Structure 1
Amino acid sequence: KQGKHSTKVANLLGAYHQTYVGSLGKKDKGSKIIIKSESIKESNQAIVMSVSCEGLKSKKKNFGLSSTNHPYLLIKRCQGYETSDDDFETALTVYSSHTLHDTLSPAWNIGEFPVQYLCNSDLDIPLIFEVWSFQESKDDRIYGRVRGTARHFIETEGEAHSIIKKQGNPYGTMTFDKFQLIQRPTMVDYLRSGWIISLSVAIDFTASNGELSEPTSLHYIDPYNPTKMSAYESAIYQIGSILEGYDSDRQFPVFGFGAKPRFCGIDEVSHCFHLNGSENPQVEGVQGILEAYRYALANGLGLYGPTNFEPCLSTMMEFISGRKHLAEYNIMLYITDGAITDLEETISAIVEASHLPMSIIIVGVGNADFGKMDFLDNDGSLLKDKLGKVAQRDIVQFVEYKNYATDISLLSEDVLREVPKQFVS
């Protein structure tokens, strides 16, 4: 651990050129953190990009008797429109390629690159393309750079650009074999073309929610005031009402997990059971979910454990896999008190589910530690399972229900914040 630093957002935005420098510990240690901030501009556009180089000058070693040439590509975005040599040090790295080995003619097929990340949706922001050579036993060496704007590279697609080092000497050429601006379809575009959204629900009935007869239980129904909703019912109603309108037929498969569903004729722990007690888990609308929930609680449901997410997720994945030919996107809603016990298995299932047309929204109820849920909603990087397999895309969104007690209007925005991006990714 190198240290830590805390500050306010106002300090980040007020820093010179929005570049904030803070200490990571004792001043005599000299460790610092540099934070660059900017306002993000949303865009549905992307650049389809492929880059190749020719004539790179060989990097010598062992007194020139042999060479090491393992090139990789960095793309950097400048902080402003005016450029200088200092930009090489202060520019923000937005892309790093894989390393190619033993070649002076590298090529990288980058594919679709959202302009939001490439140039913050501004085609006239200067970009820097740097070609480096990986060195095992010393610092990596740079071949040189190409500078220009996205607009310039679009207009000069297919032309060769000189790769220049700081001294101004050419070190080969870089060609943007493909640099095309495209419009990416939005979630609304898909829905207009006939796609539908389907909702399913999984509810946590583990013992960590508290004994059903205790007023402190998250599943407690007051016998003297039966119209008062439990904590779970409030979450089901508020969030289900948000998502219900996106489901065209309002038929929701609803599951429970972590309990003994005696109303189903089962007196052992089940990690995925039909909450309505029927062979068909579908109910109609949010009201149907609430009715199935009350039916289960009133007919011998025994809270148990552990809290395993994977069985319900795998059940829905199997269902979705059989319907991939349909224009249907699935949202699976988990409502839980947060004490997940099969984290590794769930991560593996999420990695597999990332290849299917689905998103997972996890809603935390109560006051438990939701650290593991934040880990599943791994914004900024993709989940990786224990075998090293990486998710194809981010499909998990986590919200903590109690954070919206004073302003329920914000719940709708946060629940749906990531779904449109996940839908089109």
Structure 2
Amino acid sequence: MADCVTKVQLTVSCESLMDKDVGSKSDPMCVLQQSLGEDQWTEMDRTERVKNCEKPEFAKKLLVDYFFERVQKLKLGIYDIDNKSTSLNDDDYLGGVECTLGQVSLPPLPRDIIPTPPPDFMGKSDPFLEIFRQGDDGSWQLAYRSEVIKNNLNPNWKSFSVSLQSLCHGDVQKPVKVTCLDYDGDGSHDLIGAFETDLSKLQQVEGGSPVMTLIPSRVVFYLQIETEYSFLDYVMGGCQINFTVGVDFTGSNGDPRSPDSLHYISPNGMNEYLSAIWSVGQVVQDYDTDKLFPAFGFGALVPPDGKVSHEFSLNFNPTNPYCQGVQGVIDAYRNALVNVKLYGPTNFSPIISHVSRFAAAAAQQPTATQYFVLLIITDGEITDLDQTRNAIVAASRLPMSIIIVGVGSADFKAMEFLDGDEGVLKSLTGEPVARDIVQFVPFQKFQNAPKEALAQTVLAEVPKQLVSYYKLRNLPPPNSPQSNK
């Protein structure tokens, strides 16, 4: 089953980019943003970085959902990327354009391939591959670019995945072109060889036998086509989304009776914690059939003995921590506020480990029936960072996602570290996460945005995380034909 919205692919190329780097060309990357209204923009996608290039043709397609009934304002920005940080604040802006999605109708111009001299007469080549799809006008559009293999005349490139839509518009008889080039740092790559084929020919290959050669006796291609399931395929096919809430009750939030406290409930009946629970819960509850959400608090002195707990039920029923719907979570939170004393420290690992135990039990089943989403709302001052790192690495191998919403104006560097945007998160022993499962969002970024914006941002990664887990396990949706074999 396909997604219920139309996905539009934007292919981006540039010419005559300015050089911001001293002594070399820029390393451009394109970033796609969509308007949220009121001069608010949110990032939707970004391409790969192309090194030392003033005329980049980006291989990665920018994806955006298309809604005919909306005016969707887009902003495409080109940045010179000189570091590994995902933040654009320290990167040079090379230029950009604003438009609406409805206005985007710019077919690429056809280009002739210019013959080039044989590569590297005095040494070995640095080969890489480019794969092109054919447009309706007969022009070739870049669909994939491989890694460069340095100093090698017998390269073996890493296996890769590319969607049929990107490669041939879903038509296996539509021509594709493969070129092999010798990489040059100044961007003037030498052509080694090229051929044209289509996926129907590639599909005829059995047992991993070679299908094409670029130049005599050089085998380059093996093919396997797999079914790609979407998030909706899983949830409509019977996968249950289990939503759990964890709320920070540490003393750094301030006395709930004080208007300066992050737990203070304003005259309109809301605070940042309540807003986050409402925004995310209202979306997630539609994917939970029983609408029963376990909700926990951490970092408070709890009745009846007044001892600190990092995993107490908001409804004070440890054997049945489930709340009926989002409203049930709200009611339990309000009741807990007047019955606990804010204390500390701020430990995430107990709640992550709690949900992980349920996810681990689900992972023992050979079906894609249970996926867990943990929402943690906190003021940001985490104290068990090392234990939390270990808990996240362990959870990355389970059917589980973690959403962290930071309230207030504290330093959220630890949260950004857990998000993994600055690099792959690792445990204390150096074990990396199996997949990215953490999404962090500061609440203040959305205070003046439409109420739907927070939920859209914090939940944006969950569908990809769910699909990536079941793809890793090679598990189809529960009610798909494959699962019934």
Q: Name the TM-score, length of structure 2 as normaliser.
A: 0.62
Distance 1:377 1:121, change over 3 A: farther
SS at structure 1 position matched to 2:307:
coil
**1:113-135 Cα deviation digits (max 9, x unpaired):** 13289859787564445799xxx
Question: Of Structure 1 and Structure 2, which has the larger fraction of its residues in strand?
Answer: 1
**Contact 2:134/2:175, CA 8 A, preserved across alignment:** no
Note the C-alpha offset of 1:206: 1.7
Residue number in structure 2 paired with 1:63 = none
1:389 corresponds to which residue? 431
Counterpart of 2:305?
A: 265
Partner of 2:261: 217
Aligned in 2, Cα 1:79/1:272: closer, same or farther, shift over 3 Å? same
**Closer, same or farther: CA 211–83 of 1 in aligned 2, 3 Å:** same
1:40 paired with 2:62, answer yes
Q: 1:356 aligns with which of 388, 395, 398?
A: 398
SS in 2 for 1:30: coil
Q: Which residue of 1 aligns with 2:328?
A: 288
1:122-201 equivalences in 2 (<5 Å): 126-128=177-179, 148=196, 151=199, 154=202, 157=205, 158-164=209-215, 170=216, 172-177=217-222, 179-201=223-245
Q: Determine what percentage of the aligned residue pairs are the same residue.
A: 36
Task: Indicate the residue corresponding to 2:387 in structure 1.
Answer: 345
Contact in 2 for aligned 1:20/1:34 (Cα 8 Å): no
Structure 1 residues 278 and 159 mapped into 2: Cα distance closer, same or farther (>3 Å)? same
TM-score (norm 1): 0.69
Among 439, 446, 457, the alignment partner of 1:404 is 446
CA distance in 2, matches of 1:21, 1:386: 43
- In structure 2, relative to structure 1, the CA distance for the partners of 1:33 and 1:333 (3 Å cut) is same
Pick from 151, 154, 161 the counterpart of residue 113 of structure 1: 161
For this pair of structures, how many residues does the alignment match?
A: 357
Aligned residue for 2:269, secondary structure, equals coil
Q: 1:320–1:22: structure 2 CA closer, same or farther, 3 Å change rule?
A: same
What's the Cα RMSD here? 4.2
Matches within 5 A, 1:320-335: 320-324=359-363, 325=365, 327-335=369-377
What is the aligned counterpart of 2:14 among 13, 17, 20? 17
Deviates more, 1:387-396 or 1:280-289: 387-396
- Residues 120, 211 of structure 1: CA spacing in aligned structure 2 closer, same or farther, 3 A cutoff? farther
Q: Alpha carbons of 1:218 and 1:93: their partners in 2 closer, same or farther (altered >3 Å)? A: same
**Structure 2 residue identity aligned to 1:114:** V
1:424 is matched with: 467
Give the structure with higher Rg (CA): 1
What is aligned with 2:275?
A: 234
Matches of 2:269 and 2:328 in 1, distance apart?
17
Q: Residues of 2 paired with 1:389 and 1:72: CA distance?
A: 32
- Return closer, same or farther for 1:117/1:176 CA change in 2, 3 Å cut-off: same
Deviation at 1:235, TM superposition (A): 1.7
For residues 394 and 146 of structure 2, what CA distance do their matches in structure 1 show? Answer: 25
Q: Could you tell me how far apart the structure 2 residues matched to 1:116 and 1:366 are?
A: 44
Residue of structure 2 in register with 1:309 after alignment? 348
Pairing partner for 1:250 from 272, 288, 291: 291
Question: 2: CA distance between counterparts of 1:212 and 1:385?
Answer: 35
1:380 and 1:148 mapped to 2: Cα distance? 39
CA distance in 1 between counterparts of 2:165 and 2:430 reads 26
Q: Check the 8 A contact 1:83/1:126 in 2, yes or no.
A: no
AA in 1 matched with 2:372:
N
Q: Larger deviation: 302-311 or 350-359?
A: 302-311
> What is the letter of the counterpart of residue 250 of structure 1?
K
C-alpha separation in 2, matches of 1:387 and 1:97: 31
Instruction: Say if 1:18 and 1:407 are closer, same or farther in 2 by CA, change over 3 A.
Output: farther
- Cα deviation for residue 391 of structure 1 reads 1.7
The answer (yes or no) to whether the contact 1:359–1:422 under 8 Å persists in 2 is yes
- SS of the residue corresponding to residue 403 of structure 1 reads helix
CA contact (8 A) 1:40 1:116 kept: no
Distance in 1 between the 2:126 and 2:345 partners? 47
Aligned mates of 2:148, 2:431 — CA distance in 1? 19
> Deviation at 1:289?
0.9
Q: 1:265 to 1:347 in 2, by over 3 A?
A: same
Give the aligned partner of residue 43 of structure 2: none
Contact 1:153 1:176 in 2 (8 A): no
Q: Deviations over 1:176-222 (max 9, x none)?
A: 23x13333111211122221111001111122212223211110135
Aligned-partner Cα distance in 1 for 2:260–2:443: 17
Paired with 1:116 and 1:207, the residues of 2 have a C-alpha distance of 53
Which residue is equivalent to 1:51?
none
**Structure 1 residue runs without a partner (length 5+):** 1-12, 44-58, 60-68, 133-141, 165-169
**Structure 1 counterpart of 2:113:** none
2-structure distance, mates of 1:150, 1:232: 54
**Matches of 1:97 and 1:416, distance apart in 2:** 35
- SS of 1:173's equivalent? coil
Q: Secondary structure at the match of 1:174?
A: coil
